[in-house]
Structure 1
Amino acid sequence: MKRFTTGLVVGKFAPLHCGHERLINAALAQCETVLLLSYSVPELPGCEPEKRQRWLQLRFPQCQSLVLMPERVAQWQLPAIPQNDDPADTHRHYVATVCEQVFQQHPQAVFTGEDYGDGFAAVLSARFNQPVTHVRLQRGTQADAPSGTLIRADVHRHRALLAEEVYRDFVFRICLLGGESTGKSTLAQALAAALHTDFVAEFGREYWEAKHGELSYDDLLHIARTQVKREDAAHPAQYLVCDTSPLTTLFYTLHQFGQAPEELHQLAERPYSLIILCDTDFAFVQDGTRQGEAFRHLQQAWYERELARRRLPFIRVSGALTERVAQILAHLSTLH
């Protein structure tokens, strides 16, 4: 039997860091049910509501998590979400309303790491007409209660304060595309070295060789799934270089079979921070796995059409390997 039936943790979770996780775990240890509520007006860069909802669901699937967005609030016919700098009591009463109308529960305890929790518990007690206990988690070290503002200022420097699932959303993923024999694999390695980070090799090529060039319809979906899993399993620094993407697998599936499973179409929507299209100015090299010069141009033209149709911005790189790396580094310097 735990101390409380229902506990509440409220925060921006922008981003969800180890201090938040320590607080939520304390609530889980003492409560049968834990409610997690997050909102921020204005929203904070890099910590959009969809990301916060995903972080909470990934890290704490046993909790009831709710991230407020204006459209959701309108559907529930709630008042507008308070501004971050509104008076404390405005936020307290708003949270009480969310508990009553959305969670439809009255928490018995509210967990915080600050003194303000006493006033918070008092307002909830009055609104629910029942005692609400403030459980304040004592801080040990600075790592127990890090500053979200500090982390947002340099996420990569403070990555140790974030779970991998959270940090992953701050990695700048670079995707290399291009027809056969356009230097993607060589460029992936060279670019990763220049950026002092990791690269994800093209799984499809490995799998094609393992299957002796005989790939089934289902094999191609397996390739795309594995490519994504490898990206998610990587432990990069600020950047991650990806040699191809599920978009490439979609091309081969459509080219071979004239259709593709819906899941593969969805995987091909995977977003990247930067897409690089390698030019065909390299001489075509037949390594025994490629289909030929004409196929390379067909594939290259498909990428150009598809990127335009999807309205995905990309940069084109050409020239020798060192020139291509320099072009990418120059472009990255304009983004930061």
Structure 2
Amino acid sequence: MPTSTRTGLVVGKFWPPHRGHQLLLETAAAQVAELLVLVYANPDSAAHPAAVRADWLRALYRGDDVADGPCIGRTPLRIFALSAAGDGVPPDAADDTTQREFVRQWLARQGLTVNVVFSSEAYGPGFAQHLGVPHVAVDEARAQVPVSGTRVRANPAAAARFLHPLVAAQLGVVAPGPVPRVVFLGAESSGKSTLCAALAEACGTVWVPEYGRTLHEQKNGNLDYDDLLYIARRHAELEDEAAAQATGVLFCDTNAATTALYSYYYFHRCDPALQALAAVCGQRYAHTFVCAPTVPFEQDGWRGPEALRSFQHGAILMQLDFYRIPYTLVEGTVAERVAQVLSHLTISS
């Protein structure tokens, strides 16, 4: 059957989703027209049940247009969270035949047909045979991504490098990066971008622009509630990509904590996954600087009124105090601010 018409199936606990799971899903998606993903365990996690883990997967694979739903490339993902109470999920300790038959019957009840099964487990071939479809093994030896859900649950901090930043944050950990990250916060038109660019040039390294601004412009200012978590996720990904190219230090314009503030400001609520990303900002960045809103205000058509800057500045300081994140306030001209930051980094190094 040609790839363009095949429906693939991946089944797992995803407790929690890790880079090995991502490799599995992305490899599968490249070979099918649609990918079904079943998330379940019995007993399930009390803190992060299947429904929550499924939401993490949806957030990981959300694109710029949330209306399209989660996808990998052009392959749509249909992600289902199953439970013992609602779907009759058998205990994890049940025999292979019971597990296989449960999935077969569940698919039949939903009117879903699959043409190929993908897995990284030894049970995969027998499972696929029970469903009457081919099996494709993906990194069963864990050679490409040497991690497992059991290992992550045993020590999330030690396994953090095998977790996407969004997932790691839900477990309260941050993966160490190749270079220290320095983040700049501040109200609108407080000089963050200008300062980051100047510092990157002075230090011969790279910097990460505020992705929220990028998406805000792409959507002509019409951000939705779901966009805020996506902004924080994409910004974290862009930081990771830039860190691999940075020399000595990486400068970052804005963090997930500020994105969470905007979520509350515009929508009066904040996704728990975004809250978790905000809560680990103290671990993610080696230094936090706040740009004082004392430079001339520039209204570029995307910003709020100048009077809002004072409130934004105070809210950022309150949030940093709440999370007990040390910060340094920088003021003056661009040159003066560059000197203040470089002096602080030298003293702190």
TM-score normalised over the length of structure 1: 0.52
Instruction: Work out the CA distance in 2 between the residues paired with 1:133 and 1:111.
Output: 9
What is residue 184 of structure 2 aligned with on the other side? 201
- Structure 2 regions of 5+ residues with no counterpart? 62-70, 193-215, 244-253, 283-291, 296-309, 327-349
Whether 1:93 aligns to 2:92 is: no
- Cα deviation, 1:36-63, whole Å, max 9, x if unaligned, reads 1111122345575324333255334434
1:150 deviates by 1.0
Instruction: State percent identity of aligned pairs.
Output: 21
What is residue 142 of structure 1 aligned with on the other side? 143
- Cα deviation, 1:77-106, whole Å, max 9, x if unaligned, reads x5432222222222212211221223x222
Instruction: Work out the CA distance in 2 between the residues paired with 1:33 and 1:9.
Output: 11
What is residue 266 of structure 1 aligned with on the other side? 269
- Please list, as runs of the form range in 1=range in 2, the aligned pairs for 1:62-211 lying within 5 A after superposition: 62-70=75-83, 79-102=87-110, 104-124=111-131, 131-137=132-138, 139=140, 142-144=143-145, 146-171=147-172, 198=181, 200-204=183-187, 207-208=189-190
Choose 1 or 2 for highest CA Rg: 1
Secondary structure of 1:142 counterpart? coil
Cα distance, 1:140–1:43 mapped onto 2, change above 3 Å? closer
Contact 2:118–2:135, Cα closer than 8 Å, also in 1: yes
Contact 1:109–1:132, Cα closer than 8 Å, also in 2: yes
What is the identity, as a one-letter code, of the residue corresponding to 1:109?
V
Contact 2:255–2:281, Cα closer than 8 Å, also in 1: no
- Please list, as runs of the form range in 1=range in 2, the aligned pairs for 1:219-234 lying within 5 A after superposition: 228=232, 234=239
What is the identity, as a one-letter code, of the residue corresponding to 1:49?
A
- Structure 1 regions of 5+ residues with no counterpart? 125-130, 174-195, 211-217, 252-259, 277-285, 290-294, 308-313, 319-336
What is residue 2 of structure 2 aligned with on the other side? 2
- Cα deviation, 1:281-334, whole Å, max 9, x if unaligned, reads xxxxx9968xxxxx99xx79xx99xx9xxxxxx68899xxxxxxxxxxxxxxxx
Contact 1:202–1:227, Cα closer than 8 Å, also in 2: no
Contact 1:57–1:65, Cα closer than 8 Å, also in 2: no
What is the identity, as a one-letter code, of the residue corresponding to 1:119?
G
Secondary structure of 1:30 counterpart? coil
Secondary structure of 2:34 counterpart? strand
What is residue 60 of structure 2 aligned with on the other side? 58
Cα distance, 1:248–1:119 mapped onto 2, change above 3 Å? closer
Contact 2:118–2:137, Cα closer than 8 Å, also in 1: yes
Instruction: Work out the CA distance in 1 between the residues paired with 2:325 and 2:20.
Output: 43
Instruction: Work out the CA distance in 1 between the residues paired with 2:108 and 2:140.
Output: 30
Contact 1:199–1:243, Cα closer than 8 Å, also in 2: no
TM-score normalised over the length of structure 2: 0.50
Instruction: Work out the CA distance in 2 between the residues paired with 1:232 and 1:250.
Output: 19
What is residue 334 of structure 1 aligned with on the other side? none
1:267 deviates by 4.7
Instruction: Work out the CA distance in 2 between the residues paired with 1:243 and 1:133.
Output: 42
What is the identity, as a one-letter code, of the residue corresponding to 2:42?
V
Secondary structure of 1:9 counterpart? strand
What is residue 20 of structure 1 aligned with on the other side? 21
Instruction: Work out the CA distance in 1 between the residues paired with 2:144 and 2:33.
Output: 27
Secondary structure of 1:100 counterpart? helix
What is the identity, as a one-letter code, of the residue corresponding to 2:77?
Q
Contact 1:15–1:47, Cα closer than 8 Å, also in 2: no
Cα distance, 1:154–1:233 mapped onto 2, change above 3 Å? farther
